[in-house]
Structure 1
Amino acid sequence: MSKRILIFDDDTDILSICTYILQELGWEVKTSPHCNDIVNTVRAFNPNVILMDNWIPDSGGVVATQAIKAETDLRNIPVVYFSANNDIQSLANKAGADTYLEKPFDLNELENVIERVAGFKD
């Protein structure tokens, strides 16, 4: 089974670290520094999991996640909301994300959360 993850974050260091770690774990990784045309981007890649930053240009993580979850064919893709914002839990709930991960995060925690929401780990 292919493991595909789509990461939306405007921080190139985060994108690089996450890409490296997740590729080492067998994930096919696609990244984007913005959420322009997000619905078509998600459809084109068809990920198992989406990692969504809160402060992503142009519309932000809440609106971007809501756009994904509003689409019948995309709403079941788990979205992990991640941010350094101290109100991340309520932002993730407002967005309709499946779970959240606080920045800075532990790399094992990143792996565990993604594998769990993707259904690859109990």
Structure 2
Amino acid sequence: MGTKTILIFDDDVNILEICSIVLEHFGYRVAISETSHNVIERVAEVQPDLVLMDNWIPAIGGVEATRLLKAHPIYHAIPVIFSSANLNLEKLAQDAGADTFLEKPFDLDVLESTVKKMLA
């Protein structure tokens, strides 16, 4: 089965660092990106099993980046967890076509269980 790879799109380096440490601790391989305009290039490069997408990521934002990914002929099936502190997070995630969402700030146990569920 091999190690699952998670690609995190977030412009907050603290979140990237914490998520990376936690997810690596649970045995996942983690790749990161601080921008979203190159979403397809990064996904092609990393070949992730799962994407964690922040809403407020530059330059195009999480909704647009998720839509690009979900419209892609090869990568559309990669599950996306949409994360944000927005009040209308559920609607944003739906509009983007994400598979599920995580409200920020999220509990690290919830992060891990959501990732596990999406990769099951």
TM-score, L = length of structure 1: 0.95
C-alpha deviation, 1:36, in angstroms: 2.5
**Partner Cα distance (1:98, 1:4) in 2:** 17
Q: 5 Å matches for 1:99-110?
A: 99-110=100-111
Percent identity between matched residues is 45
For structure 2, which runs of at least 5 residues remain unmatched after alignment? none
Residue by residue over 1:58-80, the C-alpha shift from the partner in whole angstroms, topping out at 9 and shown as x without a partner, is: 00000000000011110110000
Partner of 1:97: 98
User: Would you identify which runs of 4 or more consecutive aligned residues in structure 1 move more than 6 Å?
Assistant: none
For structure 1, which runs of at least 5 residues remain unmatched after alignment? none
**Partner Cα distance (1:41, 1:22) in 2:** 19
Q: RMSD of the alignment, in Å?
A: 0.6
Equivalent residue of 1:110, what SS?
helix
C-alpha deviation, 1:118, in angstroms: 1.1
- The code of the aligned residue for 2:31 comes to K
Q: 5 Å matches for 1:1-122?
A: 1-119=2-120
TM-score, L = length of structure 2: 0.97
**Partner Cα distance (2:116, 2:49) in 1:** 10
Equivalent residue of 2:60, what SS?
coil
Query: What is the aligned length?
Result: 119
